Every structure is written in structure tokens, then in C-alpha cells.
A = this chain, B = another copy of it.
């Protein structure tokens, strides 16, 4: 897989080049990207809108899922560029925090109860 050798920095640079070639830095500010990430996340969700969750994905829908997921990722990569933060670092830190919040022993096989208000 390309993922084995592709660094996060390489993907971030590729996205920065795309944005720069169009002089879109003025649009790709964090506040706008927060909107863009929600919009693309909804385009991904739309592919599952009228189907049972358990229904398998046919090849054509699966291809669309990959494209919409890529759009979410592209805007997330652009947001780490716009914030000037280390994507790997914020992901690893958040996973460590989640590990404390959801200890494996306590949460094995269990999801949060939706009826309990946070």
C-alpha cells in the first residue's frame, strides 16, 4: 500500500500546493474549513441516507464513498496546514486522551448509551 511509505507531511504538502496554485489561501482559513468539513461529511453521509446500515456497498457506491471520504480528508489536511499544527501529534494525543476516557476493560464491546445526556 502507498500508505506504508507516504508520510503525512507529503499529503499536507500536496494539498497546500493545490490550494496555492489557485490562490485559495484566503478561502482556506480555519473558520471556513470547519464549514467545508461538515459539508463534505454530509455528502459522505448522503450515500447512506436511505439504506439500512447493514446493506452491503455495491462497487459503484463504494467508489463514491471513497471520493467523499477523500474530500473530508483533503479539507482536514488543509485545516492542519492553516492551523500550522502537526496532524500526527494531535491525532496521537487525542487517542491517548480517549484511552483514558474509555478504558478498554470497562468499554470492551460497549457503546455509549444514547439516552444519557452528556
Contacts and interface: CB of A to CB of B under 8 A. Distances in A.
Contacts of A91: 11, 14-15, 70, 73-74, 77
Interface in A27-86: 27, 29-32, 34-39, 41-55, 57-58, 60-67, 69-74, 76-77, 79-80, 83, 85-86
Given A41-B41, A94-B74, A31 B48 contact: yes
Interface residues of A, number: 92
A2 B73 contact: no
Interface of A: 1-12, 14-15, 18, 21-24, 26-27, 29-32, 34-39, 41-55, 57-58, 60-67, 69-74, 76-77, 79-80, 83, 85-95, 97-99, 102, 104, 107-109, 111-112, 114-115, 117-118
